Amino acid sequence: MKGGHEAPKEHGRFYHWLDRGLPVSEFMERHITGYPTPRSLNYLWNFGSLAGFFITLQIITGFFLMSQYRGDATTAFASMQQIMRDVDWGWMIRDLHAVGASFAFAVIYAHTIRGMWYGSYKEPRRLLWHIGLLILLATMLAGFTGYLLPWGQMSYWAAQVITDLFSAIPLIGTAIVEWIRGGFVVGNPTLTRMFAIHAVLVPLLLLILIVLHLSALHKHGSNNPTGVEVDKKSPQEVTPFHPLHTAKDAWFTLFTFLFFFAFVFFAPDFFSNPDNYTEANPLVTPSEIVPEWYFLPFFAILRAIPNKLLGVIAFATSIGIYFFLPMLDRVRTRRALSRPIYKWMLLVFMVDLYLLGWVAAYPPLGPYLLVARIATAYYFIFFLSLPFISRIERRMLGEEQDSAMGRHKVPT
Amino acid sequence: MDTRPSRRKAGLRVSETDPDNQNDPSRDEQDRNLLSRRDLLLGATLALSGIGAAAAALPLIDSWSPSAEIEAQRTTEIDLSKIAVGAQSVKTWQGRPLLVVRRTPEWIAKARASEGPLDPQKDSERVQRPEWLILVGVCTHLGCVPNFAPSNARLWLCPCHGSEFDFSGRVTKGPAPINLPVPPYRFESDTKVVVG
């Protein structure tokens, strides 16, 4: 890559000056104008760049919210009201940020499920999958810490319940909870540190992780719907990222705006809980504590198990288990459609996620509890049965044929 | 990284490039395999840096612990003279709700009649004076404040997930795993109690 790149002649003097000091043309050639991308990518591959868009939007709107927000338990709630009522365009910036968070989660979840459907977590992209999951965790940290900042009733009690989960740890649980809260209950010290995490730590983490995610992606290039590695030298199979995918990503982002701005301007509170328009009160618990929709499936798993410690362990495992997916799934064939059993299991898993999210919005009683328990059982059965399913599927697909599916031509 | 062979190949002079005398022909093979001075210095530097980094991290981590102002809330004084028989007064202790109930003779009798079904404990172990029941009002399930809702079988009903607590604050219906905790307290006089 060294020395071989010079800016094309048609660029102006400024570009040439810039290119002398920075590897601009080299970078553009390697990652954009010459980056080989499978021609067969379908629209499910657009969620990655869309996630990048929404995270960028959160950083921009977050900066302007932070310019007005006063992160203290005595002022936080009032400053949110001022942002919504008094600050010029404050309502729009806040609604963009709040609805943007929901969209970021939706897009990242879609991106993750796409990876599961097309086997994008398999070698040589295992590390790419792990870094992506770390991005998901950082996003969850952002969602949790950010939700406390408006200092409404639901903010407060969600934080109370989630921090209290650590008290399930034997012996040192209470000490850990007091350390996280900076007090005996969620209070001002909790608010200020969650603000620090939300506004400093999470964006930095996300920035680092996204650079790593893209570096890992560009090392081997995108997976594709066929699940067979493309020949990066063949113009029939690949095309440069620009112009096809830049244009496609741009159009898909604009298409998503239709839905995004419909919520921002016409139903900004659709995803939020009305209790959060009441200021936080440590002495009054809302009749029903419900997390934001993007945490509902995990919350359902927590509540489905009657024992507190086991419930917390199941809750943590339900998030952490995705890290083990590449080890649990031993089939080399990537796409689900080519796999006789996994495709049905994954489809049922998607329904299962929806069911979990649905029952979590109701008290854990009677039929809701029963559905929650069955859905929780399936959630873990899906992952834990994969090694056995893999063995059966490899036999059905033919071991040699399956191994050949995983073979790939990685340019040296 | 071991660059010694290449150095040897490059034919550089020992005195300038080989401070450890690794290439000194007078040293035998066994001698060269010993821990070199460079390795020792590197290991010691890393170990001390690690200890230093941990020592520097401690104050930062400890800064998250409850501050002196919050530590000052460890105890709360309660004036009992204003609480009527059969009523609950909610105070705060350590920022948590404190439920103070002046029990009726009927409630005392019911509290003593059983030990609670889920987390058995004698009423006498949960009160210092039978008339006064003092509890931390944080549901042992997920930290909600149980509502004072006396009926024939219970005094509290948790609004979050339906746990119920009896006349001694013992859990009678899940999902709360254990009884409402009794805070440490002492009677300063007949009308004054210090919690914490």
| CB within 8 Å: A182 and B95 | no
- Torsional sign, CA A385, A391, A394, A400: positive
Chain A residues at the B interface, defined by Cβ less than 8 Å, are: 157, 160-161, 164, 178-185, 187, 189, 193, 282-289, 303, 306-308, 363-365
**Separation CA B140–CA B178 (nearest Å):** 6
| CB within 8 Å: A164 and B65 | no
Contact status of B66 with chain A (Cβ, < 8 Å): yes
Looking at residue B118, its pLDDT comes to 84
> Quick one: how far is CA B68 from the chain centroid?
17
Residue A151 near residue A73, CB atoms below 8 Å: yes
Q: How many Cα atoms sit within 13 Å of A243 on the Cβ side?
A: 0
Contact residues for A376 (Cβ-Cβ < 8 A; gap 6+): A300, A301, A304, A305, A314, A356
- What is the strand order of the sheet B171-173 is part of? B147-148, B156-157, B164-165, B171-173
Q: How many Cα atoms sit within 13 Å of A261 on the Cβ side?
A: 6
What integer is the mean pLDDT of A68-91? 96
Looking at residue B8, its pLDDT comes to 46
Residue in A347, A350, A349, A343 with CA at minimum distance from that of residue A393: A343
Q: Is residue A5's pLDDT more than 50?
A: yes
| CB within 8 Å: A282 and B92 | yes
Residue in A109, A188, A97, A78 with CA at minimum distance from that of residue A147: A97
| CB within 8 Å: B96 and A363 | no
Of the listed ranges A6-15, A17-26, A216-225, B112-121, the one predicted with least confidence: A6-15
Looking at residue B71, its pLDDT comes to 84
| The pair of three-digit structure tokens given for residue A252, joined into one six-digit string | 């898909």
Comparison of pLDDT for B160 and A195, the residue scoring more: A195
The proportion of chain A whose per-residue pLDDT surpasses 90, expressed as a percent, equals 83
Q: Is residue A171's pLDDT more than 60?
A: yes
Three-class DSSP category at A315: helix
Determine the residue type at A174: T
Task: Give the Cβ contact number of residue A164 at 10 Å.
Answer: 25
What integer is the mean pLDDT of A216-233? 92
> What is the residue-averaged pLDDT of chain A?
92
Looking at residue A110, its pLDDT comes to 97
| Kind of pairing between the strands at B76-79 and B192-195 | antiparallel
Whole-prediction pTM? 0.82
**Separation CA A48–CA A38 (nearest Å):** 15
| CB within 8 Å: A308 and B177 | yes
Residue A411, phi then psi, degrees to nearest 5: -65, 135
Catalytic residue among B161, B174, B186, B187: B161
Of the listed ranges A24-33, A37-46, B24-33, B154-163, the one predicted with least confidence: B24-33
Q: Is residue A25's pLDDT more than 70?
A: yes
Instruction: Quote the minimal CA–CA distance from B20 to chain A in Å.
Output: 36
What integer is the mean pLDDT of B69-86? 86
Q: Is residue B12's pLDDT more than 50?
A: no
b/e per residue A5-35 (b: at least 16 CB within 10 A): bebeeeeeeeeeeebeeeebbbebbeeeeeb
pLDDT in tens, A316-366: 999 999 999 999 999 999 999 999 999 999 999 999 999 999 999 888 888
Contact status of B52 with chain A (Cβ, < 8 Å): no
**Separation CA B42–CA B39 (nearest Å):** 5
pLDDT in tens, A278-289: 999 887 777 778
Chain A residues near residue B142 by CB distance under 8 angstroms: 161, 164, 289
| CB within 8 Å: A286 and B159 | yes
Looking at residue A74, its pLDDT comes to 95
Contact status of B145 with chain A (Cβ, < 8 Å): yes
Instruction: Quote the minimal CA–CA distance from B103 to chain A in Å.
Output: 22
Looking at residue A335, its pLDDT comes to 92
Determine the residue type at A156: Y
Residue B161 annotated in active site: yes
pLDDT in tens, A206-224: 999 999 999 999 999 999 9
Comparison of pLDDT for A79 and B191, the residue scoring more: A79
